Amino acid sequence: MDTLQSLSNDLAAAVERVAPAVVAVHARRRLPSTGIHWQPGVVVTAEHTVRTAEDITVTMADGRSLPAVLAGRDPGTDLAVLRVADAGSVTAVPGDDAALRVGHMVLAVGYGPRASWGVISALGPRWRSWRGGDIDRLVRLDLVLYPGFSGGPLVDAAGRVVGLNTSGLARETRLALPVTLVKRVTDELLRKGHVSRGYLGLGMQPVRLPEPLAAQLGLGPGGLIVVMVEPSGPAARAGVLLGDVLVALNGAPVGDLDDVQARLGSDRVGVEIPAIVLRGGVRTDLRITVGEQPRRRG
């Protein structure tokens, strides 16, 4: 068969492979968003498209309309998880996002099914969303995310889900959340209903260290000066004082708040980690038991 035809057939087959697990999520006015039937009875979608916590319904690929219950949401990573009874057993086939390369042909699929075609335009390292979530990897797309496509799967040419598309984390560029992150956050949301983040109970500001001191420490060129210590917070209990300069956390230098946050993932909560502070210009080693960030209400 002609190569163009076989490519065309492959792309259509990729859509047909994922389509039975692609659902419409009715959790906002007017336009529904898309969701992925992730595991039996569990639908994942983009958190920013869930505007109501009650009266959510899901339209399955076979046309059935089913009630859904919000099991958890994480605005930071823009992921929300719904529980849907009697959703059936046809779920999405996850792919390997680590194998993605710039230029790979991908498809975004919306409920219907509807399809959009393009390529991976850029890949980047771990990044922090403007909503404060830690995203394992930047996956930037050159394709059109049509209205209602947020929350739907990004699939490779074989129809395996490599990401979840969202327009909620960037205004101009089209992004997908890597499937590894979707899996991790979904598991945590199903377990706890929210994603916990590590917490020190400190207010800090970046400062540069005097060069001889920085050279002597052999860490980074700067640190974070403590300007607020929450009484009886995790850091206070470990002995951190106002005016200390935090230069290392869990064995790695810290120069700004992103460095600190990167070391306070949900797996650190309740764990004792080493910290190095400068107190009056002298290195002081402490051990801090990481707390859990208090959640905002509402």
Partner 1 sequence: MGALTAEPVAAAASGLAARLAGVTVEVRGRGRDSSAGAPAGAGVVWRADGLILTNAHVAKGAVSIVLPDRRVLPARLVARDVEQDLAALVVEATGLSAAEIGDSDALRVGELVLAVGNPLGIVRALSAGLVHATGRRFIEADLRLAPGNSGGPLADARGRVVGLNAMIVGGLAVAVPSRAGWRFVRERLAG
Exposed e or buried b per residue across 274-296, where buried means at least 16 C-beta atoms within 10 angstroms of its C-beta: ebbbbeeeeeeebebebbbbeee
Residue with smaller CB distance to partner 1, 11 or 286: 11
Smallest distance from the beta carbon of 13 to partner 1, in angstroms?
8
Q: Which of 26, 37, 48, 136 is catalytic?
A: 48
Residue pair 16/7 in contact by the 8 Å Cβ criterion: no
Q: Which of 74, 78, 136, 259 is catalytic?
A: 78
Smallest distance from the beta carbon of 112 to partner 1, in angstroms?
6
CA dist 284 → 84, 143, 275 (Å) = 52, 52, 8
Residue with smaller CB distance to partner 1, 147 or 221: 147
**ω into 153 cis (within 30 of 0):** no
Q: Is 8 a catalytic residue?
A: no
Q: Is 136 a catalytic residue?
A: no
Q: Which residues bind partner 1 (CB under 8 A)?
A: 2-5, 7-9, 11-16, 19, 107, 112-117, 143-144, 146-147
Q: Which of 33, 116, 150, 196 is catalytic?
A: 150
Smallest distance from the beta carbon of 97 to partner 1, in angstroms?
19
Residue with smaller CB distance to partner 1, 40 or 147: 147
Residue with smaller CB distance to partner 1, 60 or 189: 60
Smallest distance from the beta carbon of 52 to partner 1, in angstroms?
25
DSSP 259-289: HHHHT--GGGTT-EEEEEEEETTEEEEEEEE
Task: Give the tokens for residue 241.
Answer: 């004082």
Q: Is 78 a catalytic residue?
A: yes
Residue pair 66/76 in contact by the 8 Å Cβ criterion: no
Collapsing DSSP to helix, strand or coil, 229 comes out as strand
CA-nearest of 234, 263, 56 to 151 is: 56
**Catalytic residue set:** 48, 78, 150
